[in-house]
Amino acid sequence: MDYATEFQLKLSKEPIKHRLRLLQFQYQRIKHRLRLQQFDRELCNRSAESMITVPPSLQPPPYKYRDYQGPWIEDYFYKFWVKNRLQSHLTYLPIFFDGFFLHSQTHKYTPREFEHIYNQMQQVLQDVHDDRGYFTILGMYDFPIWDWHKFPKNVLVFSANGGGDIPIPLVKGNPPFDCPSKEILVSFMGNLGGSSNRGGVRQRMYEALKDLAYFGQGPHWRSVMEKSIFTLCPRGLGRASFRLYEALSVGSIPIYIWDDMEWLPYQDVVDWSQIIVSVHVDKLNQIPKLVKGHSEADIRDKQQRIKKLYNRFFTFDAVCENIVRMLEQFQTMDQILQITQCRRYE
């Protein structure tokens, strides 16, 4: 079903409610545009090689997800880049892909608006110069869901959810690190089915570990996580998981369960084996042994390492700083293509 058909179907089911949502979204877009104008003024004297200027419609307001209204990494990084007057060998492509696709999923654009904005996005991507390197940011959602195969190979994609080239943390907000006392050995709070059960990973996890872990769901998920020594963190719709970074923020050791690709950032500077347990889905039966193999001293050591690394790598500011750091590794087009030619589509 195409976007226009979906939009009309939703409008016919709840005409008044959906029209009110459209009006509210238009108001949000105006407010958001006014807030971004201060950053636009900062850009007046900047070189065009530092950052592409994109149409305002490609920088929509933050979306709401799991009761969190933003900011998200795409718009946060844009403001970070502009405020700090940053430069790079690569040209920044500041499209807020997440915002556009999430608002599209809830049909907040009319069909005409959707088509117009989508065409604007395609035009920006078509206009990139073949002889220049670029970079962009993808958060929890991915442009590739629709047209990943068309994404230019000279655009390096920093991706939180696993549909790009360079992993970054999949975080929402800046929760401070805290490590309350623990009384649950292993837990998982969340849905076992639906779209997040990509490849059946969550269901397989439950069948293999239902005698080891506490499984549940509901609004008290965070309090359960805070009390858990280990938190099961299976991949979701993408290769990564918000849950992994939420667990780190409360000193609960993540057990990351992945399938086709282990999507962990900063592997050049972070030894993940010192702060998490990472297991391929085909080796779920090893998790009980791995958990029980952790002594109290091992657990304390992992928690202390998490605390030490948290503010350096897992807050929004830390993610932005590390993206800038990683950009320095790409000085030539060959270095970019060496990474982007290895893209694996799901």
Alpha-carbon distance of 315 to 321, in angstroms, equals 10
Give the CATH number, domain containing residue 258.
3.40.50.2000
Tell me, yes or no, whether 120 and 211 share the same domain. Answer: no
| Residue 105 belongs to some domain of the structure | yes
In the Cβ-directed half-sphere of 295, how many Cα atoms lie within 13 Å?
A: 3
Q: Is the pLDDT of residue 44 over 80?
A: no
Q: CA gyration radius for the chain?
A: 21
Q: Is the pLDDT of residue 179 over 70?
A: yes
Number of other CB atoms surrounding residue 38 within 10 Å: 11
Q: Is 256 helix (H, G, I), strand (E, B) or coil?
A: strand
What are the tokens at 109?
């654009």
Alpha-carbon distance of 33 to 59, in angstroms, equals 8
| Residue 346 belongs to some domain of the structure | no
Find, among 301, 231, 309, 224, the residue nearest to 265 by Cα: 309
pLDDT band, very low/low/confident/very high, at 65 (cuts 50, 70, 90): confident
Tell me, yes or no, whether 116 and 136 share the same domain. Answer: yes
What are the tokens at 241?
């998981």
Domain range holding 288? 184-314
Tell me, yes or no, whether 139 and 235 share the same domain. Answer: no
Top pLDDT among 300 and 194 is at: 300
* Start-to-end CA span in the chain (Å): 21
| Residue 345 belongs to some domain of the structure | no
Tell me, yes or no, whether 257 and 156 share the same domain. Answer: no
Tell me, yes or no, whether 335 and 277 share the same domain. Answer: no
pLDDT one-digit tens code per residue, 140-152:
775 544 567 778 9
Q: What angle do CA 280, 246, 213 make, to 5 degrees?
A: 55
Residue 144's pLDDT is: 46
Of 9-13, 80-84, 329-333, minimum mean pLDDT range: 9-13
Tell me, yes or no, whether 162 and 197 share the same domain. Answer: no
Residue 142's pLDDT is: 59
Q: Is the pLDDT of residue 293 over 80?
A: yes
pLDDT band, very low/low/confident/very high, at 237 (cuts 50, 70, 90): confident
Tell me, yes or no, whether 203 and 230 share the same domain. Answer: yes
| Residue 177 belongs to some domain of the structure | no
pLDDT one-digit tens code per residue, 319-328:
999 999 999 9
Q: Is 230 helix (H, G, I), strand (E, B) or coil?
A: strand
Highest mean pLDDT among 14-18, 171-175, 183-187, 198-202: 183-187
Q: Is 108 helix (H, G, I), strand (E, B) or coil?
A: coil
pLDDT band, very low/low/confident/very high, at 222 (cuts 50, 70, 90): very high
| Residue 71 belongs to some domain of the structure | yes
What are the tokens at 161?
């959810």
Tell me, yes or no, whether 158 and 19 share the same domain. Answer: yes
| C-beta of residue 327 within 8 angstroms of C-beta of residue 90 | yes
Residue 346's pLDDT is: 65
Residue 173's pLDDT is: 87
pLDDT band, very low/low/confident/very high, at 215 (cuts 50, 70, 90): very high
Number of domains present in the structure of the chain? 2
Tell me, yes or no, whether 334 and 310 share the same domain. Answer: no
| C-beta of residue 99 within 8 angstroms of C-beta of residue 63 | yes
Residue 41's pLDDT is: 64
Q: What is the mean pLDDT of residues 71-76?
A: 94
Q: What is the mean pLDDT of residues 125-143?
A: 87
The fraction of the chain above a pLDDT of 90, given in percent, is: 70
pLDDT band, very low/low/confident/very high, at 42 (cuts 50, 70, 90): low
Tell me, yes or no, whether 212 and 306 share the same domain. Answer: yes
Tell me, yes or no, whether 27 and 41 share the same domain. Answer: yes
Alpha helices, DSSP H only, in 170-295?
201-209, 221-226, 242-249, 287-292
Tell me, yes or no, whether 159 and 18 share the same domain. Answer: yes
